[in-house]
Amino acid sequence: MPPQEGDTHVVERSFSPETVRQFADLSGDDQPRHTEPDPDGRLLVHGLLTATLPTEVGGELGVLGRTFEFEFHRPVYTGQTVRCACVVEAVEETDDRYDLTVGVTCTRDGDVVMTGSVTGIVEG
């Protein structure tokens, strides 16, 4: 079934200290806030690691991402569950594909932690 305006896809994830440290190694962003626990024993999750949540949705739907724009509103720490809702805002059908614009809202305990938009294509 082709993508439709208004389609909503949701993923939830919490990040472990091991995942954050692996991302620090992979990205080269190994600031102590990402590798050494805070007074509550948590690590700060990289913003770009949080931004992998919409790419999980894209992978499920077969979207090839073209542009990503995110704004980070609040920090996310290891052990906290983040809910990411991706809503298809626009679909343009061409001869061989669908061009999509998707709005992204990620929350933690009801507080918005990240918003943004993604454009991409789904081959038709």
pLDDT classification of 70: cutoffs 50, 70, 90: very high
What pTM was computed for the model?
0.92
Q: Is residue 4 within 8 Å of 88, Cβ to Cβ?
A: yes
Whole-number average pLDDT of the chain: 96
Sketch the domain layout of the chain as residue ranges: 8-123
Rounded to the nearest angstrom, the gap between the alpha carbon of residue 64 and the centroid of all alpha carbons in its chain is 14
Is the predicted pLDDT of residue 1 greater than 90, yes or no?
Answer: no
CATH for 8-123, options being 3.40.50.920, 3.40.50.300, 1.10.10.10, 3.10.129.10? 3.10.129.10
Is residue 13 exposed (0-12), middle (13-18) or buried (19+ Cβ within 10 Å)?
middle
